Protein backbone atom coordinates (compact mmCIF):
# COMPACT_ATOMS: atom_id res chain seq x y z
CA UNK A 1 0.00 0.00 0.00
CA UNK A 2 1.12 3.53 -0.73
CA UNK A 3 -0.26 6.87 0.47
CA UNK A 4 0.29 10.29 -1.10
CA UNK A 5 1.34 13.37 0.86
CA UNK A 6 1.76 16.99 -0.13
CA UNK A 7 2.28 18.89 -2.15
CA UNK A 8 5.01 20.52 -0.13
CA UNK A 9 6.28 23.71 -1.73
CA UNK A 10 9.91 24.70 -2.17
CA UNK A 11 9.63 28.46 -2.56
CA UNK A 12 13.35 29.18 -2.90
CA UNK A 13 16.30 26.93 -3.62
CA UNK A 14 18.46 28.27 -0.81
CA UNK A 15 19.09 27.15 2.75
CA UNK A 16 16.08 29.04 4.14
CA UNK A 17 13.75 27.63 1.48
CA UNK A 18 14.98 24.08 2.00
CA UNK A 19 14.71 24.41 5.79
CA UNK A 20 11.12 25.67 5.40
CA UNK A 21 10.30 22.71 3.15
CA UNK A 22 11.63 20.27 5.76
CA UNK A 23 9.68 22.07 8.50
CA UNK A 24 6.52 21.66 6.43
CA UNK A 25 7.17 17.95 5.91
CA UNK A 26 7.85 17.44 9.63
CA UNK A 27 4.69 19.40 10.48
CA UNK A 28 2.55 16.97 8.50
CA UNK A 29 0.24 15.01 10.80
CA UNK A 30 1.77 11.75 9.55
CA UNK A 31 4.32 10.37 11.99
CA UNK A 32 7.84 9.93 10.64
CA UNK A 33 7.01 11.02 7.08
CA UNK A 34 10.48 12.49 6.50
CA UNK A 35 11.99 9.04 7.19
CA UNK A 36 9.49 7.19 5.00
CA UNK A 37 10.52 5.34 1.87
CA UNK A 38 8.82 5.45 -1.50
CA UNK A 39 8.54 7.74 -4.50
CA UNK A 40 8.74 11.51 -4.74
CA UNK A 41 7.65 13.68 -7.65
CA UNK A 42 9.02 17.17 -8.24
CA UNK A 43 6.60 19.40 -10.17
CA UNK A 44 6.76 22.97 -11.46
CA UNK A 45 3.81 25.10 -10.45
CA UNK A 46 3.06 28.03 -12.70
CA UNK A 47 -0.21 29.80 -13.48
CA UNK A 48 -2.12 27.35 -11.29
CA UNK A 49 -0.92 24.33 -13.28
CA UNK A 50 1.44 21.55 -12.29
CA UNK A 51 3.98 19.90 -14.58
CA UNK A 52 5.95 16.87 -13.37
CA UNK A 53 9.68 17.37 -13.87
CA UNK A 54 11.25 14.49 -11.98
CA UNK A 55 10.15 11.26 -10.30
CA UNK A 56 12.48 9.31 -8.08
CA UNK A 57 12.53 6.70 -5.39
CA UNK A 58 14.16 6.54 -2.04
CA UNK A 59 15.02 3.59 0.12
CA UNK A 60 16.85 5.82 2.63
CA UNK A 61 14.01 8.17 3.58
CA UNK A 62 12.50 11.19 1.88
CA UNK A 63 14.47 13.72 3.91
CA UNK A 64 17.82 12.05 3.21
CA UNK A 65 17.22 11.70 -0.53
CA UNK A 66 15.84 15.19 -1.05
CA UNK A 67 18.77 16.65 0.89
CA UNK A 68 21.18 14.84 -1.46
CA UNK A 69 19.44 16.42 -4.45
CA UNK A 70 19.33 19.89 -2.88
CA UNK A 71 23.00 19.73 -1.84
CA UNK A 72 23.90 19.02 -5.48
CA UNK A 73 21.59 21.79 -6.76
CA UNK A 74 19.69 19.27 -8.89
CA UNK A 75 16.49 21.31 -9.16
CA UNK A 76 17.98 24.78 -8.84
CA UNK A 77 17.32 25.72 -12.48
CA UNK A 78 13.71 24.57 -12.20
CA UNK A 79 13.22 26.67 -9.08
CA UNK A 80 14.28 29.75 -11.04
CA UNK A 81 11.36 29.17 -13.44
CA UNK A 82 8.56 28.69 -10.91
CA UNK A 83 7.71 27.26 -7.52
CA UNK A 84 8.43 23.59 -7.00
CA UNK A 85 5.83 21.32 -5.46
CA UNK A 86 6.97 18.02 -4.02
CA UNK A 87 4.68 15.04 -3.68
CA UNK A 88 5.68 12.16 -1.43
CA UNK A 89 4.24 8.71 -2.08
CA UNK A 90 5.15 6.65 0.95
CA UNK A 91 5.07 2.89 1.35
CA UNK A 92 2.67 2.30 4.22
CA UNK A 93 1.20 -0.50 6.29
CA UNK A 94 -2.48 -1.38 5.83
CA UNK A 95 -3.11 0.76 8.92
CA UNK A 96 -1.53 3.79 7.20
CA UNK A 97 1.75 3.88 9.15
CA UNK A 98 4.75 5.01 7.09
CA UNK A 99 7.39 2.32 6.56
CA UNK A 100 11.01 3.36 7.15
CA UNK A 101 14.30 2.02 5.80
CA UNK A 102 14.92 -0.02 8.93
CA UNK A 103 11.67 -1.97 8.67
CA UNK A 104 11.44 -2.32 4.88
CA UNK A 105 11.35 -5.80 3.40
CA UNK A 106 12.59 -6.91 0.00
CA UNK A 107 8.97 -6.93 -1.11
CA UNK A 108 8.55 -3.27 -0.08
CA UNK A 109 11.63 -2.31 -2.10
CA UNK A 110 10.39 -4.23 -5.14
CA UNK A 111 6.99 -2.51 -5.02
CA UNK A 112 8.70 0.88 -4.76
CA UNK A 113 10.83 0.12 -7.82
CA UNK A 114 7.80 -1.03 -9.80
CA UNK A 115 5.82 2.07 -8.86
CA UNK A 116 8.74 4.30 -9.79
CA UNK A 117 8.81 2.80 -13.29
CA UNK A 118 5.07 3.37 -13.73
CA UNK A 119 5.21 6.93 -12.45
CA UNK A 120 8.21 7.85 -14.59
CA UNK A 121 6.29 6.53 -17.60
CA UNK A 122 3.23 8.58 -16.73
CA UNK A 123 5.25 11.71 -15.96
CA UNK A 124 7.10 11.32 -19.28
CA UNK A 125 3.73 11.24 -21.07
CA UNK A 126 2.88 14.56 -19.43
CA UNK A 127 6.30 16.18 -19.88
CA UNK A 128 8.61 15.09 -22.68
CA UNK A 129 11.39 17.12 -21.04
CA UNK A 130 11.25 15.08 -17.84
CA UNK A 131 14.65 15.21 -16.11
CA UNK A 132 14.70 11.46 -15.50
CA UNK A 133 16.96 9.45 -17.72
CA UNK A 134 16.57 6.17 -15.84
CA UNK A 135 13.60 4.15 -17.20
CA UNK A 136 12.34 7.02 -19.37
CA UNK A 137 14.10 6.07 -22.58
CA UNK A 138 12.44 2.66 -22.83
CA UNK A 139 8.97 3.95 -21.96
CA UNK A 140 8.32 5.67 -25.29
CA UNK A 141 8.61 2.54 -27.41
CA UNK A 142 7.18 0.16 -24.83
CA UNK A 143 3.94 -1.52 -25.76
CA UNK A 144 2.18 -4.83 -25.43
CA UNK A 145 -0.21 -5.79 -28.21
CA UNK A 146 -3.68 -6.02 -26.69
CA UNK A 147 -2.70 -4.07 -23.58
CA UNK A 148 -0.66 -0.92 -24.34
CA UNK A 149 -0.62 -0.78 -28.09
CA UNK A 150 -2.09 2.59 -28.96
CA UNK A 151 -3.49 2.65 -32.47
CA UNK A 152 -1.61 -0.38 -33.79
CA UNK A 153 -3.63 -3.04 -35.59
CA UNK A 154 -4.21 -5.96 -33.27
CA UNK A 155 -3.68 -9.60 -34.10
CA UNK A 156 -6.45 -12.03 -33.13
CA UNK A 157 -4.45 -13.01 -30.03
CA UNK A 158 -4.02 -9.33 -29.10
CA UNK A 159 -7.76 -8.78 -29.61
CA UNK A 160 -8.50 -11.62 -27.16
CA UNK A 161 -6.00 -10.26 -24.66
CA UNK A 162 -7.57 -6.82 -25.01
CA UNK A 163 -10.99 -8.27 -24.25
CA UNK A 164 -9.63 -10.08 -21.21
CA UNK A 165 -7.96 -6.92 -19.87
CA UNK A 166 -10.64 -4.49 -20.97
CA UNK A 167 -8.29 -2.53 -23.20
Kindly provide the b/e burial profile for residues 57-80, where b requires at least 16 CB atoms within 10 angstroms of the residue's own CB.
bbeebbbebbeebbeeebbeebbe
145 lies in a domain?
no
For residue 127, CA distances in Å to 1, 15, 78, 160 come to 26, 28, 14, 32
84 lies in a domain?
yes
pTM > 0.85: yes or no = no
Chain segment 12-24, per-residue pLDDT in tens:
878 888 889 999 9
14 lies in a domain?
yes
167 lies in a domain?
no
148 lies in a domain?
no
161 lies in a domain?
no
Q: Is residue 103 within 8 Å of residue 64, measured between CB atoms? A: no
Chain segment 38-95, per-residue pLDDT in tens:
999 999 988 888 999 999 999 999 988 988 888 887 877 776 667 889 999 999 999 9
Instruction: Give me the domain span that covers residue 70.
Output: 2-134
140 lies in a domain?
no
- Alpha-carbon dihedral of residues 45, 37, 72, 28, nearest 10 degrees? 50
147 lies in a domain?
no
How many domains is the chain built from? 1
Amino acid sequence: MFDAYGPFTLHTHDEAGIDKLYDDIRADETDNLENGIGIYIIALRANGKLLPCYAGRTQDGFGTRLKQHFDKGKFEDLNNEALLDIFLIARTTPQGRVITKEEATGRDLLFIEQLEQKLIGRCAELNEDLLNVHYRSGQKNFYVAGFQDGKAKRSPAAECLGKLLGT
